[in-house]
Amino acid sequence: MAIRLLIEELRNIYPNKKFVISTVTPTGNKIVKSIVREGDFVTYLPLDFSFIVRPVIDMINPSIFIIAETEIWPNLISYLYKKKIPITTVNGRISDSSFKGYLTIKFLIKNILRKITLFCVQTERDANRFKALGVQEEKIKVTGNMKFDVKDYTDFKKDYTDLKKKLGLKSEDKVFIAASTHPGEEEIILSVYKKLWEFLPNLNLIIAPRHPERSKDIATIVSKFRFCHKFISSFSPESIACATKSVFILDVIGRLMDFYSIADIVFVGGSLIKKGGHNILEPASLAKPIIFGPQMFNFRDIADLFLSNKAAILVNNEEEIRTKISHLLANPSMAVELGENAKKLIQQNQGATRRNLELITKLIV
């Protein structure tokens, strides 16, 4: 998702080029298939063995190899280097845990990293970490985080006004979205929701798991809290009414932004457990009030930026989630201010894609 705009810009500059896009996960593979064009090729990253990598690279014969964030594949990088194919990272970053691990094997990865032509990194901290691992300073450029370069989604001219109606909700109903959740988080969210719903009956919950294939497991969890579940993929207003309140489960990929548009409050998951959090910039681009847990180490710089600018709220436990949601719903002006601050931060930090593009085009023959 972060490189989508970069791909679009590269297409404009090189209309005759075809793109080979590889992913590691099935979810990423599905997302990529939604942005490719005829003639492009979507695949999983080849296993990093020389006898596999070499024929694949020979067959593709790339003009440039672009690595999103930080992936170190020794045989792949070495063969690209041998064939004099430029290699660049974009949105480069090194997390705290990865940095500690890399330092212990610096003598092994130093020569691999030096074969990469250009490092476009997110922050000065990332630049310093690459230098500490032996990367030449002249190869490192701090260009920012491309995740800030989300499009203005109003440009898509989608009409979301009827989305609440399609869920059988009234215009005055409130919507709380728990997005990108992981095992262990749904129980916390549902416990919070059960307590809130007792005095806020017009509050509705949508759970959007990080991995939609977990949707049936989440339905089982929902039933333990004595709520009905409704899968959004098969929901219709004519569905048989439940005797109790329904919890919606977003069991499809690519629709989260649609439902963010009708949210009154967004919780971003992977942050109550040690997963490192997930992207808060999409709801921020729609000026939504955002809350997240303390485990945001994969997005530490973004999280710190939002917290220091009063553009998001940190919650440490179930009770704090309940308290903060109650407070925001009771104080709509505060919720609006939180969302507007978030959107303003996005606008102030955009431009990484353009800066990366200027550097990449100098490498393509």
Chain mean pLDDT for the chain: 92
pLDDT confidence tier of residue 225, bands split at 50, 70 and 90 = very high
* pLDDT value at residue 157: 46
Residue 155 pLDDT > 50? no
pLDDT digits (tens, 9 = 90+) for 206-220: 999 999 999 999 999
User: Is pLDDT above 80 for 240?
Assistant: no
Region 316-323 average pLDDT: 97
Nearest Cα neighbor of 288 from 308, 273, 306 is 306
Task: Identify the band that residue 166 occupies on the pLDDT scale cut at 50, 70 and 90.
Answer: confident
Q: Residue 158 contacts by C-beta under 8 Å, 6 or more apart in sequence?
A: 258, 261
**Would the pLDDT of 306 be above 70?**
yes
What pLDDT shows up at residue 238?
60
28: how many CB neighbours lie within 10 A of its CB?
A: 17
Phi, psi of 67 (to 5 degrees): -105, 125
Q: What is the pLDDT of residue 156?
A: 47
CB 213 within 8 A of CB 311: no
Reply yes or no on whether the pLDDT at 189 is more than 80: yes
Torsion of CA 121, 125, 127, 129, to 10 degrees: -120
Region 336-349: mean pLDDT is: 95
Domain 4-149+350-361 = CATH 3.40.50.2300: no
Q: What are the phi and psi torsion angles at 181 (to 5°)? A: -80, 155
CB 268 within 8 A of CB 290: yes
Burial (Cβ within 10 Å: 0-12, 13-18, ≥19) of residue 122: buried
| Partners of residue 208 on adjacent β-strands | 179
3-state secondary structure the chain: CCCHHHHHHHHHHCCCCCCEEEECCHHHHHHHHCCCCCCCEEEECCCCCHHHHHHHHHHHCCCCEEEECCCCCHHHHHHHHHCCCCEEEEEECCCHHHHHHHHHCHHHHHHHHCCCCEEEECCHHHHHHHHHCCCCHHHEEECCCHHHCCCCHHHHCCCCCCHHHHCCCCCCCEEEEEEEECCCHHHHHHHHHHHHHCCCCCEEEEEEECCHHHHHHHHHHHHHCCCEEEEHHHCCCCCCCCCCCEEEECCCCCCHHHHHCCCCEEEECCCCCCCCCCCCHHHHHCCCCEEECCCCHHHHHHHHHHHHCCCCEECCCHHHHHHHHHHHHHCHHHHHHHHHHHHHHHHHCCCHHHHHHHHHHCCCC
- How does pLDDT run across 251-296, given as a tens digit for each residue? 998 899 999 999 999 999 999 999 999 999 999 999 999 999 999 9
Give φ, ψ of 91 to 5 degrees. 60, 30
User: What are the domain boundaries of the chain?
Assistant: 4-149+350-361, 154-348
Amino acid in the structure at residue 202 = N
What residue type is 152 in one-letter code? D
User: Residue 160: its pLDDT value, please?
Assistant: 62
Sort 271 into a burial class: Cβ within 10 Å, 0-12 / 13-18 / 19+: buried
Whether the pTM exceeds 0.85: the reply is no
- Convert the pLDDT of each residue in 104-129 to its tens digit: 999 999 999 999 999 999 999 999 99
Is residue 325's pLDDT more than 70?
yes
Percentage of residues in the chain having pLDDT higher than 90: 79
Least confident range from 28-37, 46-55, 57-66, 274-283: namely: 28-37
How high is the pLDDT of residue 154? Answer: 44
Cα 65 to the center of its chain, rounded Å: 22
Q: Please name which of 177, 166, 192, 197 lies closest in space to residue 249, comparing C-alpha atoms.
A: 177
Torsion of CA 5, 8, 10, 12, to 10 degrees: -140
| The domains spanning 4-149+350-361 and 154-348 adopt the same CATH topology | yes
Identify whether the C-beta of residue 113 lies closer than 8 Å to the C-beta of residue 103: no
Is the predicted pLDDT of residue 97 greater than 90, yes or no? no
CATH superfamily of 154-348: Glycogen Phosphorylase B; (3.40.50.2000)
